[in-house]
Amino acid sequence: MMSLLVFMVLSSFCVMFLNKKDQIVAMINCFGIWSAFSLTYWGGSGVSWESLSELFCVDIYSSSLISLTLWVCGISILVSSAMLNLRGVFNVFWVLVTLLCFMLVQCFMVNTLAMFYVLFESTLVPMISIIGIWGGQFERVPSIQYIAAYTVGGSFPLLLIFTSMEVHAGSSFMWFISVKTNFNWLFWLACFLGFLIKLPAFPFHTWLPKAHVQAPVGGSVILAGILLKLGGYGITRVMMLFSYTLESFGIFVIALSLYGSVYGAVMCIRQSDVKKLIAFSSVSHMAFPVIGLFSCTEVGLVGAYIMLVSHGFISSGLFVLCGISSELVHSRKIKAMNESVRAIPSLGFFWLVMIMANLGVPPCPVIISEVLSVVSAVALWPWIFIPLALYLVLSGAYSFSLYCQLTSSKSKNKTEVLFGEVMLKDMKALYFLLYPLAEVLFKWDLWAMV
């Protein structure tokens, strides 16, 4: 994996000497090569790890999220190169995305929680720059302030804990230090609050719809595909470090997540803006990793990582489709997008595939994650099945409603479609997202401990 990091730096440096038109194609190809190379590290059980240097260690949890990072960043550059509102200053965009990718890869590779925190917060800078420069509406500045306040403010107690570890214990190395002490609620809240906000878990989710509405398509793809997964990864590492076992705090977080999954599904039914609908569906889906991780069972851990990885590809595909459809009619409203889907039938097929994958229709790996999370939750309290069943009914309702509205032939107001065909480059991003989903499906037990 260390060779991957060196390879990324050298190839990015070489791309800088090409002319501007060739830089885009070269960077997309680079991300493809990096992603394929990173898939070779998908091996070994969850307890095996490899030390790369004094600063970096990897195991299956980090290597799978590194592959997700490289794949989704490449998709972001590919789909954004075809969007009209990014042309002109696109070279700045791919530089920011590549910088963000370097930070995320190192974030998943570092072996100390202090460095993890620094990189965790540093990823906010390129993301805010992308929203600030290419944000679609005038409310992007309040949205940036909202994101920064939530993320930095929520994770500040975590900084105090890691600083205290470095001062008193001399290290925050996440592999050998295992603190076995009874902690109170305030300590666990300080540890997990920043990560629960990043996921986001209910009721800390309010920044996510605002960020998605203001972000360009490429920014939404990265935000939903990778940055949310930092929260789940951080929870895993902190649980390993402090030997977390199921406590009253975890049961309270699981209860909130159950309510949040139902709440997110209800909000999806009420939305007319497709971007907001996808954002609330992410809030609803991220309840399952929280339930799996805080159940403190191996079944829950496997289910959590299946959801984290597969949702990264599925939500990216949904935002790519939303970007293509909205670019045709210059609107994110479902009724307006109906015209673009009717004008280009292949869009309707891709909407069907991605909505079914998001819903968890077999053989999509999301259904495996949901079943494992339900099993881990029911083991704690059998009646938990009732809100989970309600969520499944509501998620089916909003998914079916979205597809029917997008493909319905009844339209009172005729919306002008700006151009009659979608370029092959636009569709490539969707094709490339299908392979890693198949990879997760056939290797779903990869995150097991044995």
Regarding beta strands 49-51 and 57-59, do their DSSP bridges make them parallel or antiparallel, or are they unpaired? antiparallel
Give me the mean pLDDT over the 308-321 stretch.
88
Whether the per-residue pLDDT at 84 is higher than 50: the answer is: no
pLDDT tens-digit map of 339-384: 878 877 788 888 888 999 888 888 888 888 888 888 888 887 888 8
Confidence category of residue 265, pLDDT binned at 50, 70, 90:
very high
Characterise 364 by phi-psi region: left (phi > 0), alpha (psi -120 to 50), beta (else).
beta
Contacts of 145 (CB under 8 A, 6+ apart): none
pLDDT of residue 421: 46
Helices (H), ranges, 165-247: 185-198, 207-214, 217-222, 229-241
Phi-psi region of 170 (alpha: psi -120 to 50; beta: other; left: phi over 0): left
CA angle 279, 59, 446 (to 5 degrees): 70
Number of neighbours of residue 16 by Cβ within 10 angstroms: 10
pLDDT at 85 over 60: no
* Higher local confidence (pLDDT), 170 or 69: 69
C-alpha torsion 77→344→214→65, nearest 10: -40
Is the pLDDT reported for residue 426 higher than 70? no
Average pLDDT score over residue span 294-315: 87
Q: Is the pLDDT of residue 90 over 70?
A: no
Q: Give CA–CA dist 193/52, Å, rounded.
A: 30
pLDDT score at 83: 57
At residue 182 the predicted structure's pLDDT band, cuts being 50, 70 and 90, is: low
Pick the closest to residue 406 from 330, 326, 327 (CA basis): 326
184-240 confidence digits (pLDDT tens)? 778 888 888 888 888 888 888 888 888 877 888 888 888 888 888 888 998 888 888
pLDDT band at 425; cut points 50, 70, 90: low
Tell me: pLDDT of 87 over 50.
no
- Calculate mean pLDDT across residues 297-326: 87
Q: With a cut of 60, say whether residue 330 has pLDDT above it.
A: yes
Predicted confidence at residue 363, as pLDDT, reads 80
Hey, how many other C-beta atoms are within 10 angstroms of the C-beta on 246?
A: 13
- Whether 411 shows a pLDDT value over 60: the answer reads no
Calculate the CA 151 to chain-centre distance: 15
Share of the chain above pLDDT 90, in %: 3
Contact 69, 105 (CB under 8 A): yes
Residues 147, 157: contact at Cβ < 8 Å? no
- Among 238, 264, 249, which residue's Cα sits nearest to residue 295? 249
182 Cβ neighbours under 8 A, 6+ residues apart: none
Mean pLDDT of the chain: 80
C-alpha–C-alpha distance, residues 402 and 220, integer Å: 19
Instruction: Give the confidence band of 394 by pLDDT, cuts at 50, 70, 90.
Output: very high
Number of H helices, E strands in the chain: 20, 2
- Collapsing DSSP states into helix, strand and coil, what is residue 386? helix
Residue 161 has pLDDT above 80, yes or no: yes
pLDDT class of 137 with cuts at 50, 70, 90: low
pLDDT value of position 223: 86
The fraction of the chain above a pLDDT of 70, given in percent, is: 84
Whether 294 shows a pLDDT value over 70: the answer reads yes
Which string of b and e fits 128-151 if b means at least 16 CB within 10 Å?
bbbbeebbbeeebeebbebbeebb
Q: Given a cut of 80, is residue 50 above it in pLDDT? A: no
